[in-house]
Each structure stands twice: as structure tokens, then as C-alpha cells.
Chains A and B, each alone.
Chain A
Amino acid sequence: MNSWQYLVHTALLGTEKRTLEQAQLRPSVAALLKKFSESDPESRFLNLATLAYVYERAGKLPLHSTADPFIADEDVSDDCASSLEEIFQTLLDTKPPNPEIWAYLLQKLAKDQTVIPIQFLTPVFQLATQNAFKSLQPLIPMVSGSRGKWLGQQHKAWTFASPKDPLASWETETNENRRKILMNLRAKDSKQALVLLKQAFDSERNARERKALIGTLQIPLVPEEVRFLEIVFDQLDPNAAAEKSASTSLRNIIMERLLSSPESAVFNHTVANLGKYFQLKRIIGLKGKWSLHVPDAPDDFLQDGHMQKFMGFDPTLSNEGMLKTKFWFSELVRNLHPMAWEQLLPELNWREIFQIFEESTWYLPKLAYALARTRYRKAVLAYTQEYVVDASNYFMLHALSNLELEKYVMHKSQGILSEYLIELLKRPDWVWSRPFSRFVLQCLLAPRSNGYHYSEIPRMLSLHPHFDPEVLPELESAFLSPSRDFQVQLLQQQVLAPMHRLILLRTKINAL
């Protein structure tokens, strides 16, 4: 025990109960004790403690460290444009922070292959852990640089900054995660993904899980994948008792995929059999006209038993009065790659093919054809036709180009933007045209039936990356003519001013 510790012990008990003993003190400190009068023990103690305290503080030495620092892999450069630092600082100072503008900045950095300046790594990572900003996490590995990745390895909440190699954890991941890994890998390297898929499929006994694995093969397929699916389809026993329904739906999904691939034998077999349902009516002096004739009575191809097996439907199901030739034909139209019709009717364009379907007396083929075309990202049919593009065919809207979507929304919306349309308008990297920006703002700024705008404010601010910057001054002058109306002031403070700020930031980010 050193002198200071001894003095602490004495102080705890008090001088009334414990007197200072010279023997317990270092000789140098004990020598000082003699200088103080014993008549006042408290003063004597405090004087000695004061000296020991100063002595202790001044003489304390650092410890020899045995810790092994975990050093970052490589040195980083802090040379970054001052404008970039300024943008980061401004965004960090903006209260409340706006997730869209952060995403906009990170996307811009990723595009320019720039990294976040090291002094802003920590605040950005902290921001990305908040619920409202979790959408930034996938962007961060692209812009965090080597220091950011190293930092992500140190902090358990920042692992998003240095994502692990998914293949390293392939064996131990859950089925759901394995499917995600497969889909991500397929986007980069379809061959390697197929190898993994084969392994997983062969080792998997559960038909539902097998179906889910096949589901990762989204169209379009590569030839190797088509061959794999053909082999699997041939191996599947349509009469297998175990998990029959799951097994049947597995056959069904494989057939869907094969019909979507012009390289597959199934596709070619189908095309070869469909030609007989189209008839050319020749009129002298005019161009012949094609028409569709699907018989009501089953023939050798559109026959329930054959189609059930062919399309992967459960053959044990009773089909009396249920499955008709036209239904089977519609199913084929829906699943077949639109190229099939171009092969069948090579002298016609897609509008003429659609015309044939449209003129048929039954509804299904024209819709099925429209769906198929949008499914394969072919040009979408007339968007003004309500039966082709509507809310129930949401993915059709996705197939529209930006310009088409603008026209569609302006045509369809009667001054009110539905929730699903607002979500559609958030396409990345899409800056609306000025008329459309004006239209959206007018929709959002129009007073609601209850006279309040409040509910639209956060939505409006979240859409700011898409507005044409030039539209705001126009709107300001239109909406904010000299008026003391409370709501106009509210709009100025809560919408237009922040929107102005955000758009200004966007302009600065673009100029980086």
C-alpha cells in the first residue's frame, strides 16, 4: 500500500478512530509528518494528505501497454473537395435530416466513385442505423472506402459498411437468406449461382423449398438454366404421392419458366402446335386478315389430360366442365414469350397481333397478351386503355417508360395522387419534366376536403429529388401571392422553404 492509499483508508475511518502511523508511510512522506503539530490531528492529516495528493498526481507514470491495436489495412487520403465537405456538414446540420437527400448524395458519390470523407464516416454510419435511414445501408459499402469498411468491422452495429462475402456463409444461412444470396449472385454471375442452385436443389427434399429455389430463377433465363429446368421437369413424377400439391406447383413454375424461354424445347413444341389456331382470310385485292380460332371441343393439343401434364397441373383433379380449351390457350398466351407470336406470324407487328387477340370473341387472350408483353418489358400497349393498365396490373405500370408514366398519371389522376401512384413516381434517378413537376405539386398542394395540407407535407418533401428545380419559383408566385392566410404561411414555412433548401442541396450535389 502506498502512502496515498494509506491516507485514503485513514480518511475513511476518520482521525477520531485511526491515527496516522509513520511506519505505514513512505520515509519521505513520514518525514513531512513531523513538521505538523499533533495537537490538531485533522489539520495534521489534511496537510499531509494535501502534500501526498500533489506528489501522487505529479509523479504518476503511464502504464506499459500490452494491447495490440487493430490497425486499418491501408492509409487513406483526406484530400477531398471542400465542396463535398461542405455538403456533408450542411446535411448533418439540417434538422430534421432528410433520408432522400442523403440517398441522393450517396448515389451521386457511388456514381462518381468517390468515398465519404473520413471525418464524416461516423456520423453517416450512425445516421444509417436509425430506422428512417436504413435504406442508406446498401449504398454505404459503395462509398465508405477502405477506412469505412475497416470501421464497419470494428462496430457491431455498422456491419452494413463491410458486408461479408455471402458465399462464405452459404452453408450456415437460413433458406430464405440462401435464396436472397442466390438472387444477388445470379445478377452478377449466373453460372456460379446455377452451380449453387443445383447443389441446393439436389440436397433439398422439401418440395415447397424446391419450388422456392426454382423461383429464384426470374426471367429471362440463360440457356444453362433452361437445360437445368428441363432436366428437373423430366425427373419430376407427376403422380408422386408425397407432397403432391407442392410437387405439382413445382412442375407448374418450371413450365412457366420454360415457356418464357425461346431456347427451350417446350417453347418450340408449343409454337409448333399453336399455328393451327390462326387462320388467314384472303380477300382479293387486299392484304389477308388473320384471325384466331380456338375450338370449343378438345383437340389433340388443347386437351385437358395433355395440358394438365404439360402445364404442370395436378392430373388427379376433376376437370369435368372446368378446364376448357380457351382457358388452356389463354394460359399459354400468358406464359409464352411474346416472341412466339412473332415466330408464328412473322409478317405481323405486335399491334397487329394484339388486334387479332382483341377481335377474338372472348376476353382472356388480349389481356393475357398485354400482360405477357409488359412482363417481358416489351412496349406496353395503349396506356389509356383502362383494361390494360390499371391499379390491379401494377407491374404493368412499372413497365411504362418515364414519359409514358407521366402521361398516364396526368391522364388518370383527377387532381389527387393515389398512394400507389406516388410510390411509382419515386423511380431512382428520375427527374420529372417541368409540366409534370408542376402537376404533382399542384395535386399535393391542393387543399384537402378538410381544408388542411398537413398530411401531404412529409410526402411532398420525400419526393423532392424528382422535382424539376425550375418549378418552385413558379409555384411560389402562384401560391404565395401576398396573403396572410395561415395555411399559406404554413406552406411557406413547412413545404416550400424546406423544399427550396433541399432542391438547392440537390443542385450542389449535382455540381460535385
Chain B
Amino acid sequence: MVSQNEVQITRYAESASMLRQARSYAQVRKWLNLGKKDGLYWGELPFVEKMGVSCWFSNEFTTGFCTCREKFPCSHLLGLMLLQLHQLEAFQSCTEYPSWLERKELPAEKKEPIVKNRRQETRFLLEMDGKRALERWIKDLIRGGLLQLPEKSPAFFEDMARRMVDAKCPGWAGMVRNFQKINYFESGVWQTSALEICVQIWLSIQAFEHTEKLPDSVKDQIYGLSGRIVRKQDLFDNPDTLRISDNWLVLGMIQDEEEEGLFRYRSWLHGTKTGKNALVLEYSTRFNPYVPAWKAGDVCSGMLAFYPSNWPYRAVFQSFQSCVPALAVSAAGFSDWKTAQQDWATQIALHPWLHDWPQIMQDVCPFGHETQRGLCDKDGYSWPLDAQFPENDWWQLMALTGSKAHTISLLRNNESVYPLGVWIRERYLPLKR
């Protein structure tokens, strides 16, 4: 008679052939070092793959791990579970965990299942594996020194990025790829940029390590950074999603090619009633083009659903009513750079990885010539313009303002600003439509 547990294990198998394979592994002679301690069971299969594999599972069959690269749960793990069901006596009680299990940092205290379902558990284990690989990689970098970076081949970064993608962490893969975007010929700048990327990765993986201690909203934020994708439909179906209805002024839109053939559309929105900022992010490929429903300078009435985060910023339209050019729209902005800096610091505290935070500045005037351009407030303080700020947009800014003080919307980043548009007598005119 087949026990209830065996039914549960066989359901884990994705196919009949996998179950057949698992049953073939459920023989004591094929295993070495079968052991158990505090509800964990483990064993080593020496004659599979090149180096052999090691598996463990908890007695509830809810958590487990195998060092093979097969899809989780693999036939080895299922074989070990079946063996435990049928020949429990083959597992010797041990006083210590084997060294390979300790290296995987899966202490016996974790009695509770780490995640709620099998799919999430699989993903979490892969992510943890990726996290450890990335941690090791970044520490190696710091140990050897960043001076080695300019000499590294693209493959050095790409291999690690692919490893992160395999580990279901595309967010971290993107962070790793940022090393390739640095201009290593820009002496005096690339060093700081490289260390910034290092600390962003480090902060992200450390936060991931301690997610269980964090509130749910922060947890979502951290998972989002590692690359967990929340589908739009899940977002709309989730009753806890933050939803804000407003007349959203499209401050600016930027389209760029993130990777070869993958285009990114970023739209920064500002709620005219709530003052809330939002980023709507869309991707397109040559075969799946994206046609934005709005242009910079439009006012879109509708409800935005924000992605779960401690710092809700990225959003998507759940309901979209109308979109018209902004003929008369007022916006409250910061009166000087010092006040704006306080806002920036507040946002940094909530999201230390922050880039490109939209701000509206009152009474700032563009100044400068080719090499040194910036925005100056009424007190004479200024931020330089972003190095990526297009020349054409600069001249558009000059045409609109005449180098006089105006209310200007901009993207704030670490050390510079990127103007998006200008208010001229209650009318918002974007620099680029």
C-alpha cells in the first residue's frame, strides 16, 4: 500500500521518467554517508554527475536541497526521500551536520518552512545560491582591488551576470552589468563609480540575507531589487496594492536601449492633486514594440497601482481615463536647493539605491556655457547638469527660459540634475515631446 507521504513525493516528480529515475536512486547501495539530525536527512550520491551530488531534506518534505544543477526538486532528492520512507534505518543518527551541509548555511533551527510553496521555495534556494556566489565575487573584487577592473574582459562581468540570471536574480545581473557601463578612460570618475556599484550590490545582498527580519513592505522592495517580478495582473488582483487616483502630469519621458534590442521607456509622473511622484517603466523589443499612450507634457487622469515596496515609486496604470495636453497646471516645488536636498535625503533613507528622483524647483535659472552648465537657485546655489543631458535639450531649455528663473521639473541624482520641463505661466512645456 502506498503511504500518504509517498503520494506527496511522487507528486513532486514532473514526469514519469523522473519518478522512474528517482525510484532507481532509492537504494541504499547507491548512497554514501546517509545521516539524520533534528528532522533533517541527508546523503551523498557519488556516482552521478562528475563530482557526485549531495542532498538533504526536512522530514516534512517541504524543504530540501541538492547540489546538482537539475530543475528542483531533482530526481536525486526525490530518490533520497523515497529511500527515507522505505528504509529509515539506513539513515544514521549524527551529532553534527556534515561539513557540506554547513557550508550551505542551512542550520537545523530552521524548522519552519522558509517559504510557503514549492515554487517559491525553489526560487528562494536558487536566489540564496546566487546571493552567495555574488557575495563571494564582490568580496574577491574588493580583496584584489578595483584597479584590476579596467583590465577585466567583458566575459568576467557577463559570466557573473548570467550566473545571476540563472539564479533568478536579474536585478543583481543588471547591477553587475553596470560595471561594463563605466567609462574606464574617465580618470578620477570611474573609481568612484565602481565602488558605488560595489556598495549597491553589497547593500542589496545584505538586505536579502536579512529579509526575514524586515517588514513585508521592505521585503518586497528588496525582492524587487534582486529581480523578482510582480506581474501586472497580480498587482491589480492584490487588495493590498497601493492605488492612487489623480491627474498625472507626465513630467518627461526617456527612451533608451538597455541591452541590445531591448528598449526601455521611462515616464516620470507627478500627481497634480496628491503631489506623488511615480515612475512608469515599460520595455519593448523590435518584435514587441511599445507605443506610449501619452507624451511628455500630457495630463493623464487615472488610477496608478504601485508595485509593492517600502518606497512606492514604480507604478502602472490600473485604470486610464483620459490623456490631454497640459494647458494649465500648477505645481508646488521646492523654493531652493537646500530644501530640495532634504527631500533627496529623505528618499535616500527610504531607498538607498535611488537614482533619478523627480523634483520640481521654483525660481531656478539655467546658466553656463559648453563645459559648465547648471541650474542656479535664487540664493546662488547650483547643481551641475547631468553629463548625459542632451545638447539639444539644453538649447530647448534656454529657448524656453531665456536663462531667467522659472519653475523647472528635473530628475535629481547623486551629483547633478537632469531637467525635464519648464512651467511658463501655469503651462508645463516639456523639453522633449
Contact = CB atoms under 8 A, between A and B. Distances in A.
To the question of whether A and B form a pair in one complex, the answer is yes
Interface of A: 4, 7-8, 11-17, 41-43, 45-47, 49-50, 53-54, 57-65, 67-72, 75-76, 78, 89, 118-119, 121-122, 125-126, 147-148, 150-151, 154-155
Nearest to A72: B402
A42 B395 contact: no
Contact of A50 (B145, B192, B199, B366): B199
A12 B348 contact: no
B191 interface: yes
A13 B145 contact: yes
Given A65-B374, A65-B381, A57 B348 contact: yes
Nearest to A68: B367
A58 B382 contact: no
A147 B383 CA distance: 25
Given A69-B365, A119-B429, A63 B147 contact: no
B328 to A, nearest CB: 12
A125 B414 CA distance: 33
Q: For chain B, what secondary structure do more than half of its interface residues adopt (helix, strand, loop), or is it mixed?
A: helix
B175 interface: no
5 contacts: A11-B195, A13-B147, A62-B341, A62-B381, A78-B425
A139 to B, nearest CB: 18
Nearest to A46: B202
Given A50-B203, A67-B382, A16 B372 contact: no
A151 B145 contact: no
Nearest to A125: B395
A72 B403 contact: yes
Interface in B132-171: 138-139, 142-147
A426 to B, nearest CB: 32
Contacts of B200: 53
A72 B383 CA distance: 21
Contact of B380 (A7, A42, A65, A150): A65
B379 to A, nearest CB: 8
Residue among B145, B372, B398, B399 with max Cβ neighbours from chain A (10 Å):
B399
Interface of B: 138-139, 142-147, 191-192, 194-196, 198-200, 202-203, 206, 337-338, 341, 344-345, 348-349, 352, 365-368, 372, 374, 376-377, 380-383, 392, 395-396, 398-400, 402-404, 414-415, 424-425, 427, 429, 433
B382 A78 contact: no
A205 B289 CA distance: 70
Contacts of A122: 392, 395-396, 399
B103 to A, nearest CB: 16
A70 B337 CA distance: 21
Given A45-B142, A54-B348, A67-B367, 17 more contacts: A11-B145, A15-B142, A15-B143, A16-B145, A46-B142, A53-B199, A57-B414, A58-B345, A64-B380, A65-B367, A69-B376, A78-B429, A89-B433, A122-B395, A122-B399, A151-B395, A154-B398
B399 to A, nearest CB: 4
Contacts of B146: 11-12, 14
A16 B143 CA distance: 5
Given A12-B191, A151-B398, A54 B352 contact: yes
A50 B348 CA distance: 13
A155 B397 CA distance: 13
